Structure 1
């Protein structure tokens, strides 16, 4: 009888323990046992899509249009707001502005001329997010949101460029920047557990100024907001549910050793550094096939991982050369990458294509990966 009671008690404890695990809780991450080949759905030569991939669940990437969002509101302890670099957006403080109603288009014409991407002026880095992804420490873009409302400036927002309609894009090239998306005036304040955004078109009066309260969501890095629809949107997966994002990107460009400011890039890859994803490049000596196939977990060099710059892969996997009439774009055949994901698993990755094999159209990325 005593033995029976002990068994019954043990079963009861096991049942109770299992019932404490909510159906909504994320399951324990399991490393893929085999590698896979992934076709990234960028959408062709206009690269309209952003694609967020978790290597452990690569069959179900998050995909959104680049124009689905404009601002990202950080969910952590700090009060930080990012802008959509995939559209070449910029922001600039409007000097001495304290009242949204008084900001008019004719007051800011001179600011419009400088708050641009691709002017080959190092000064324009002031108007974008830090290209390395460290938005918590950046002194560019939107300032940290202060507790005192009056300490938060009013910004002129360059909404960037629309996704082009497409059409006849020459093989091997891209068409990323369509019509201008216009300008907004904006102020962001703190709210209980979140933010208050006040924004409008440049000449709007008080009755046309819109306000929205954005609440921090601890399951996500950011709550994203669309200024044109006036609504929050889900863009990134949950914090640890993505490793790589394929996107267009506003980066810093150099002329020789000197910065030439912000510039708009195609075929760019960022890593989820905010949640511990790191990567580094391995240069192959001799055959890439052999170097990749023989690379094992014991060969990983922890000292080489880049955890403080989400451009660890960036544009290093491909190159573009030639001229606009005779372009050449290809994937490097002398390198692959090692990645440590958000759950602490290790992978090796190699990139195979950046173009459609038949038409030569850009925006058709293919890569393969293997767990280590």
Structure 2
């Protein structure tokens, strides 16, 4: 009798458990949409992206129609994949959360700038649905955007949003975002007049100088591994570059014209933990004409490799991967981005002074391209009411962390801070007002894919 009662209780429990599972709210709709509704065209090719709310389990077809204005397909432009009857057939691969296509200007074609293409998402295979931004206008000229709503794509794979693998660059005037793997580089070589080298704060890299100018003479006997530890309560700010972007406060000293003055540094490529000796690098940087020569090796190697790095005035920095021993693309052209969102080493205070600490969802401005930012509290003027006449009362900052982490809360009431918004003045003098909409499930957002909106308040001269 006891066995029967136990069995009945077990069945009742399982039934109740399954009922609870059935009562759990379903996932929100998976929506497909263009990243923006308007985009400019500079150069010979542009990529158009269709983003999904989340990754799909199986390959998912999407159809996009195109309507040219003052253009003929195949004569002035083409697309990849090719269009058939003014329709581009796309497919989101299984496990991915987006797909893209390219528009290419035909070589030797001269255009007036009034030409454009209208794209429309016309069909999406189940279970994905069409989202809000289903129309996009591509202008065959540089544009100064009037503003838009956009969701940044910080997720590269299946990593948690709190440690999103992408850094995302956003150009407000063209509505173009550029996600790039933040771990793709280790050192950045300044392209300006000075000779400066930065560490990769987005991976929490740290470095320490060895009072030695012969790189072959340096080994792991010259350091205590724990001396490179930063983040999570460890380390000193002297091991990482300045969070505000002051290039006079980098770990690696200014590269001297006198070779003997340029010392060896040991670099730990990732924060949070110190890599084993066979993954630590030693580096030394010299000037070579108007550029640099990098000497690098694993810490216990007795010979080193070299890489010449040439300055390119079109970019803020030239980036180098120590693992590949080559230059890599990271930042867009210096006049093609205003904001950088993502994970980065920053700082905090646990009561004993400032120490390095890794933050998610940091927002930096393009300091080297003269981008500035100002915070505006809604108690002074609301976002909707803010107009050109209000700009004079704003105090703009040139620090790259002028926004930093101040736009969101991760303790208490988690979510976007709705009592403030920001002004962004780009290098051309355009001023935008910008506010964050969501970034976390607690404010109906997605961690790693923050939503924001912005509007042109004053056009540059």
Residue 99 in 1 paired to residue 99 in 2?
A: no
Distance 2:426 2:188 in 1: 23
Please name the residue that 1:292 is paired with.
383
Contact 2:372 2:396 in 1 (8 A): yes
Greater Cα radius of gyration, structure 1 or 2: 2
Contact 2:163 2:343 in 1 (8 A): no
Tell me which of 81, 90, 102 is aligned to 2:206.
Answer: 90
Which piece of structure 1 moves more, 337-346 or 99-108? 99-108
Please name the residue that 2:178 is paired with.
62
Contact 1:356 1:364 in 2 (8 A): no
What is the CA distance between 1:237 and its match in structure 2? 1.3
Distance 1:144 1:248 in 2: 26
Alignment of 1:197-276 (within 5 A): 197-206=294-303, 209-255=304-350, 259-276=353-370
Please name the residue that 1:114 is paired with.
227
Contact 2:154 2:165 in 1 (8 A): yes
For each residue in 1:203-230, what CA deviation from the matched residue of structure 2 results, as whole angstroms up to 9, or x when unmatched?
1122xx1100000011111100011111
RMSD: 2.5
Tell me which of 230, 238, 243 is aligned to 1:126.
Answer: 238
What is the CA distance between 1:233 and its match in structure 2? 1.0
Given the two structures, how large is their TM-score scaled by the length of structure 1?
0.78
Contact 2:414 2:443 in 1 (8 A): no
Q: Which runs of 4+ in 1 moved over 6 A?
A: 357-360
Please name the residue that 2:289 is paired with.
192
Tell me which of 253, 265, 270 is aligned to 1:160.
Answer: 270
Please name the residue that 1:164 is paired with.
none
The runs of 5 or more residues in structure 2 that have no matched partner are 1-109, 112-139, 156-160
Please name the residue that 1:46 is paired with.
163
Q: 1:30 to 1:302 in 2, by over 3 A?
A: farther
The runs of 5 or more residues in structure 1 that have no matched partner are 1-17, 20-26, 162-176, 323-327
Distance 2:231 2:181 in 1: 22
What is the CA distance between 1:30 and its match in structure 2? 4.1
Q: Which structure exhibits the higher relative contact order, with contacts defined as CA atoms closer than 8 Å and separated by 6 or more residues?
A: 1
Please name the residue that 1:370 is paired with.
455
Q: 1:125 to 1:186 in 2, by over 3 A?
A: same
Distance 2:191 2:240 in 1: 20
What is the CA distance between 1:261 and its match in structure 2? 1.5
Please name the residue that 2:19 is paired with.
none
Contact 1:189 1:197 in 2 (8 A): yes
Distance 1:180 1:360 in 2: 34
Contact 1:120 1:260 in 2 (8 A): no
Please name the residue that 1:333 is paired with.
418
Please name the residue that 1:6 is paired with.
none
Distance 1:98 1:369 in 2: 50
Contact 1:69 1:227 in 2 (8 A): yes
Residue 319 in 1 paired to residue 409 in 2?
A: yes
Q: 1:246 to 1:119 in 2, by over 3 A?
A: closer
What is the CA distance between 1:180 and its match in structure 2? 4.2
Contact 2:290 2:311 in 1 (8 A): yes
Distance 1:356 1:330 in 2: 8
What SS does the corresponding residue of 2:389 show, helix, strand or coil?
helix
Please name the residue that 1:11 is paired with.
none
What SS does the corresponding residue of 1:247 show, helix, strand or coil?
strand
Alignment of 1:178-189 (within 5 A): 180=275, 182-189=279-286
What SS does the corresponding residue of 2:411 show, helix, strand or coil?
strand
Alignment of 1:66-81 (within 5 A): 66-81=182-197
What is the CA distance between 1:305 and its match in structure 2? 0.4
Q: How many pairs are equivalent?
A: 313
